[in-house]
Structure 1
Amino acid sequence: MILAGDLRDFFETQGTAYAGQLSRGIEKEALRIAANGKLAKTSHPAALGSALTNPYITTDYAESLLEFITPVENKPEVSLSQLADLHKFAYHNQQDELLWPMSMPCFVGCESDIEIAQYGSSNTGKMKTLYREGLKNRYGSYMQVIAGVHFNFSFPHSFWQRLAKQQNKTLNQDFISDRYLAVLRNVKRHLWLLAYLFGASPALCSSFIEGKQSAYPFEKVGKGSLYLPYATSLRLSDLGYTNKAQSVLSIRYNNLDEYIAGLRQAIKMPSGDFAHIPSGQNGIFNQLNSNVLQIENEYYSPVRPKRVTKSGEKPTDALARDGIQYIELRALDINPFTPVGLDIEQIRFLDVFLTWCAIQASPEIHCNDEFLITANMQQTILYGRKPGVELNNGQQKITLTEWAHSILDDLYQLANYFDGDASSNYRQALDCQMRKIRQPETTPSGRVISRLLSENIDNGELGLQLASQYRSQLMGQDYAMFDAGFLADAAKASREKQVQIEQSQNLPFDVFLNQYFAQ
């Protein structure tokens, strides 16, 4: 990588300041589990506030699937401390339950054990629950209790100014949206690298696929865990959080108008696969509608363009209104070897990686490119740590190790600018990743397999060990950014807000839905 002209001058003079202006927000999911390692069957703890309105702690698909949300911050240390505080607060208010520290779920006896998240009696709350009912009836509940980390990221305005100048373009929202789409395309091309470095789900509880056919040559460890020796992230495989029914959709990141049109078409396109599920006939609702997507959020993608929505506004309407504001990276497994699911080296790597994606050439992605991207991901997901495994960079076959080395060489140049003379934080973060490339056993997936095989234990036993360790660790440390009073007040305010919403909404539910989809 050769930086030239204004862009080189920008990083040489403002690299450290630039790194300090990057904005990040984290959404981290975690299943509540009983002390025996099984899925908790209790309701969302009332002391954590309303799952509908609490901005810090909510639920995702299931009543037992917590989601911790940090505010937008410029300092990664602050975000991680906030995340730790939220975990600590949850532990204080969920009795003796633990938080499952892995992406693939704990032991789940049957789908009926998974209660869909409840959001109250308002039309908004009913819609959120019904959407999840639709997911269960379309795809089953097991897929919906897989957990992950969503990393929200935006660049500072000064970067867009310098990039526009470098490219002789007018700086406006159209330029920013186009460049964000370029970032997303490059992220997709190199998702295999994130799967290799941060994939942490090479094994799963056999209950997850009980009664299902699988073509994967699983091996067994412990009493009943299944694993693939060189796998990195089964969560990202077709066993995980994917949707084959959406493979027919042609939704790409080449043009914002086309992206918006593609999503809008999908939420209006009737689906023969889902037509048999009641969606209001005779007053029976088992899904929101019978279209390919019930709502836009049902589109499963490892990366998304985003803008903060107004109350009642659809995501595509927000994008059409004011363009792309930030990106959401959804392809990150929970790191089971840290109490909050990710660490500061990972965040700093993503800072550099996403910046690199912004300044690299980013041609449009078409059908043949999608095939190549999928093939590289599949190879990495299943065989990423296998010595000599090869990918295709569009020009030739190349070993994963060789390609990863070449990318890291580029990233080190940016890390030098980010660190300046005052620190070596970013270089050290890249050193951590380079070690994983040279020593596959040091990747999170490699460490999981090593623990399972060396101790001959189940995935569940390892998860329970780590969960107990992290509960003691987090309960024993002080709050750093929030405190118990602040989070308790936020929980109380969220409950009061839910009551206000419930008292103010008086439309019949079917009328409410019709009005929502007619907008």
Structure 2
Amino acid sequence: MSAYNQVIDRLAQPQWRPALRALNRGIERETLRVDAQCQLAQDPHPKALGAALTHPWITTDFSESLMELITPVYQDPDQLLAHLGDVHRFVLANIDDQRFWPLSMPCFLDSDQHIPIAQYGHSHIGRMKTTYRIGLSHRYGAKMQAIAGVHFNFSVSDPLWEALGLGQPDDAARSERYFGLLRHFHRHTWVLAYLFGASPSLCRSFLGDKASNLPFEQAGGTLFLPYATSLRMSDLGYTNQAQDALSVSLNSLEEYVRDVKRAIRLPSEAYAGIGVRHDGEYRQLNANVLQIENELYAPIRPKRTAHSGETPSQALERGGVEYIEVRALDVNPFAPMGISRDQILLLDLFLLDGLLTDSPAFASQDVAENKANFQAVILDGRRPGKALSRNGNEVALSDWLGELFQRWQALAPVLDAAHGDHRYQDALAQWQGAVTDPEQTLSARVLAESRAKGHGRWACDLAAQHREWFAQQPYRLLDEAQMQQRCAESLSAQAELEQHSVGSFDDYLADYFRRQEGA
């Protein structure tokens, strides 16, 4: 019996069922606010939604128009989606006739100047957040920063570590296992792009006058690659070519923190040319390759909730990995909340499988191979007979994915027994056909719709349908009064931060980076 099957047999014992029901999940869904004609909203973040700086569930990302809707941690996926749906419902009820753009890639954008940068008030931390975004706009252009995605946070509870044979692990043992999951994820990130990628096409207006080295085909105002899955994750979208030279190790927590700290201190000649300040106004926080750690783009991150004043790496040093954040998910346009229940269940299987699997340390050739596989799938993953490289050997994508589905099919009944239903086996059955038939992937469905109806028109109609759908939904977990109270509390919290921001902003930034240097 394989070591993997031995772990599955152990998990199948009835005493571990409560632990298997206690998977911790959270969602952060990004979405652009657009008007009834699907033009990008130009108004500030509505005050009726509270303060974006301090609201726990409703905030903004890069732009005033780019909303981020957040859930707390839930162990029940239905409660998770209920909370996310209630937040969607409340926001839509408080933005007049605006609606949410249902795709990752934006459309109908004239120029970067029409993408209003997020504002967070007059506190030092608020000004720092806005200045960071100003820097992003100078470095990469505002259009790239207007791309939306879905982030999925995942961790397991303490009893499950015992079920996995670790007893009561300390922070170091837990972190080591999570870093194994990170390496497993990077070896298989292409799986999420293939199954859940939903950006094979885009509006011609997104490129504007810029040329692209991608061999786009065109149908009306729609640009597409015939076998692409996730242009969002390509060089065209949410990547950072300036970071290509950075090497951040995933072989241990210590190496990861060391490399992140090195990256945030690395000067950039190109960014120095932008200038840090001009006519007394900040153009970026600094001229390093990374202004702050959040600028390190990655499809998955190790995370720990930071204390006030801590950087993400300082939090990891203090307590190890608390959870992982999956960042490789396109917005699912066929799900009003941008992600569906069956996707969540498949992510559970994918990530839990990564915790159960021995994932060797990366050598440089592994990193290169993983990157090449991912690039091959995001640009050409649905091509019939598509082959990838595994340990230097060619393997058919469908064969490799079929092997993974077999592993998940061994794990799914164990999770189903813990829940007393067939949710995981049903989710696998729903996606099983995509293993051998690329037309059953999300990207194939998106491309068919956008080519048939016109990319922008189809997405705009979908935005209206989603708005109407939420208008008809009752609150499931929260209520109007709770939502309004959270908004009022967030406005008070921002006012308090502004009241207690003493000294100059220059001194605040200098102190922040001094503390970072001393870490």
For this structure pair, what is the TM-score category when the shorter chain's length is used for normalisation? Answer: over 0.9
> Which whole-Å CA distance do the structure 2 matches of 1:206 and 1:111 have between them?
15
CA shift in 2, pair 1:16/1:170, >3 Å: closer
TM alignment of 1:338-349, pairs within 5 A: 338-349=335-346
Instruction: For residues 439-467 of structure 1, give each alpha carbon's deviation from its aligned partner in whole angstroms, at most 9, with x where no partner exists.
Output: 321211111111123x3x22111111111
Q: Give the gaps of 5 or more residues in structure 2.
A: none
- Assess, with a 3 A threshold, how the Cα gap between structure 1 residues 170 and 375 changes in structure 2: closer, same or farther: same
Which structure 2 residues correspond to residues 51-62 of structure 1 after superposition, within 5 A? Answer: 51-62=52-63
* 1:448 and 2:446 matched: yes
Alignment check: 8 A CA contact 1:27 1:150 kept: yes
Deviation at 1:3, TM superposition (A): 3.2
Give the structure 2 partner of residue 484 of structure 1. 480
Which residue of structure 2 lines up, in the alignment, with residue 211 of structure 1? 209
Could you tell me which amino acid in structure 1 is paired with residue 207 of structure 2? Answer: I
Deviation at 1:2, TM superposition (A): 5.0
In the alignment, the residues of structure 2 paired with residue 83 and residue 6 of structure 1 have an alpha-carbon distance, to the nearest angstrom, of: 33
Residue 85 of structure 2 is matched in structure 1 by 84
Alpha-carbon shift at residue 8 of structure 1 (Å)? 2.5
Give the 5 Å matches for 1:364-375: 364-375=361-372
How far apart, in 2, do the equivalents of 1:403 and 1:354 lie? 17
Other-structure match for 2:50: 49
1:3 and 2:4 aligned: yes
Aligned partners of 1:15 and 1:417 also within 8 Å: no
Q: Is the 8 A contact 1:278 1:284 kept in 2?
A: no
Q: TM-score, normalised by structure 2?
A: 0.96
1:427 matched to 2:428? The reply is: no
> Quick one: distance in 1 between partners of 2:157 and 2:165?
13
Q: Deviations over 1:189-243 (max 9, x none)?
A: 000011001000000111111222212121112x311011111100011111000
Matched, 1:177 2:175: yes
Where in structure 2 are the equivalents of 1:21-170 lying within 5 Å?
A: 21-165=22-166
Matched, 1:463 2:421: no
Q: 1:287 aligns with which of 284, 287, 308?
A: 284
User: Residues of 1 paired with 2:104 and 2:15: CA distance?
Assistant: 37
Name stretches of at least 5 consecutive residues in structure 1 with no aligned partner: none
From the superposition, tell whether residues 54 and 386 of structure 1 become closer, same or farther in structure 2 (CA, over 3 Å): same
Q: Which residue of 1 aligns with 2:511?
A: 515
Tell me how far apart the structure 2 counterparts of residues 307 and 282 of structure 1 sit (CA, whole Å): 38
Contact 2:385 / 2:397 at 8 angstroms: preserved in 1? Answer: yes
- Match of residue 271, structure 2, among 270, 274, 277: 274
The CA deviation at 1:280 is 4.3
* 1:11 positional shift: 3.1
Offset at 1:281?
Answer: 7.0
Question: In 2, distance between residues paired with 1:62 and 1:273?
Answer: 24
Matched with 1:20 is 21
Whole-Å separation in 1 of the counterparts to 2:129 and 2:287: 16
Q: How does 1:399-414 map to 2 (within 5 A)?
A: 399-414=396-411
Question: Which amino acid letter does the alignment assign opposite residue 491 of structure 2?
Answer: R
**Would you say 1:356 and 2:357 are equivalent positions?**
no
Q: What does the per-residue CA deviation read over 1:120-150, in whole Å, with 9 as the maximum and x for residues that have no partner?
A: 0111100000000000111111110000000
Q: Which amino acid aligns with 1:32?
A: R
Q: State the match for 1:472 in structure 2.
A: 468
- In structure 2, distance between residues paired with 1:242 and 1:232: 15
Instruction: Report the secondary structure of 1:351's partner residue.
Output: helix
How far is the alpha carbon of 1:302 from its aligned partner? 0.4
The CA deviation string for residues 271-312 of structure 1, in whole angstroms up to 9 with x for no partner, is 111112232477431000111110000000000000001112
Residues in 2 aligned to 1:429 and 1:504: alpha-carbon distance in whole angstroms: 50
Alignment-mate amino acid for residue 383 of structure 2: K
How many angstroms apart in 2 are the aligned matches of 1:359 and 1:2?
Answer: 9
Question: Which range moves more in the overlay, 11-20 or 243-252?
Answer: 11-20
Q: Does the residue aligned with 1:378 lie in a helix, a strand or coil?
A: helix
Deviation of the 1:6 alpha carbon: 6.1
Q: Provide the C-alpha distance between the structure 2 equivalents of 1:107 and 1:366, rounded to a whole number of angstroms.
A: 43
Paired residue type of 1:358: L
Determine the C-alpha separation between the residues in 2 that align with 1:217 and 1:6.
Answer: 46
Please list the CA deviations of residues 295-336 of structure 1 after superposition, one character each: whole Å capped at 9, or x if unmatched. Answer: 000000000000001112110110011110000000000000
Partner Cα separation in structure 2 for residue 468 and residue 18 of structure 1: 41
The SS at the match of 2:31 is: strand
Residue type of the alignment partner of 1:304: R
- Which SS does the other structure have where 2:13 is aligned? helix
Name which of 327, 331, 337 aligns with 2:328: 331
What is the CA RMSD across the aligned residues, in angstroms?
1.5
Give yes or no for the alignment of 1:498 onto 2:494. Answer: yes
Does the C-alpha gap of structure 1 residues 220 and 130 become closer, same or farther in structure 2, counting only changes over 3 Å?
Answer: same
How far 1:164 moved relative to its partner?
4.2
Residue type of the partner of 1:411?
W
| Structure 1 residue 396: Cα displacement | 1.7
CA distance in 1, matches of 2:300, 2:364: 18
Shift of 1:258: 1.2
Alpha-carbon distance in 2 for matches of 1:3, 1:188: 20
1:15 Cα deviation from its structure 2 partner:
5.5
* Cα distance per residue 1:383-426 (max 9 Å; x no partner): 11111010111142111111101110010000011012831110
Contact 1:180 1:358 in 2 (8 A): yes
Letter matched to residue 31 of structure 2:
A
Q: Structure 1-normalised TM-score?
A: 0.96
Where does residue 302 of structure 2 map in the other structure? 305
Match of 2:193 in 1: 195
Structure 2 Cα separation of the partners of residues 144 and 11 of structure 1: 44
Q: Distance in 2 between matches of 1:460 and 1:269?
A: 41
2:489 counterpart letter in structure 1? A
When structure 1 is superposed on structure 2, of 288-297 and 429-438 the one drifting more is 429-438
Q: 2:134 is aligned with what amino acid? A: E
Quick one: distance in 2 between partners of 1:507 and 1:368? 50
Amino acid across the alignment from 2:35: A
Inter-partner Cα distance in structure 2 for 1:171 and 1:381: 37
- 1:435: how far off? 1.8
Cα 1:228/1:122, change in 2 over 3 Å: same
In the alignment, the residues of structure 2 paired with residue 14 and residue 461 of structure 1 have an alpha-carbon distance, to the nearest angstrom, of 53
Q: 1:348 Cα deviation (Å)?
A: 0.6
Q: Which secondary structure state, in structure 2, belongs to the residue aligned with residue 208 of structure 1?
A: helix
